[in-house]
Amino acid sequence: MLSELSRILECFNYIDCTNKVDLTNTAATIIGIIIGSVIGAIISWWIYNRQEKTAVKEQEILDHIVNLEEKHENILEKHELVLEKIQIVEQNHEEMLNNILTLGKKIDSLLENR
């Protein structure tokens, strides 16, 4: 393949080189294919490079979202604990209020009996 290519490129400007055929069109076609392949390879590399950079950015964003979700879950858990503690304090306050009211009733009944 390479030997044929080099033979054709040697005969680029000659009319009757080896096969007594005008090789200028053939050589131009081969050079066009080579140049097209090079341009295609460059464009393919550029697209691959852009996609790779985009994929890295997307992964960074997804990692950041996961991190935010974990922090959100932690905050929710802490709020639930705080709410549970508030409920316990409210129950204790209700019990203390009930005890104070019953104590007040007992004091009132003692004062009335005197």
For 68-87, the pLDDT digits (tens) are 999 999 999 999 999 999 99
The separation between CA 58 and the C-alpha centre of its own chain, rounded to angstroms, equals: 3
Q: Return the closest-CA partner of residue 31 out of 43, 19, 21, 23.
A: 23
* CB count in 10 Å sphere of residue 10: 13
Question: How far apart are alpha carbons 59 and 64 in whole angstroms?
Answer: 8
Q: What is the mean pLDDT of residues 95-114?
A: 89
User: pTM for this structure?
Assistant: 0.51
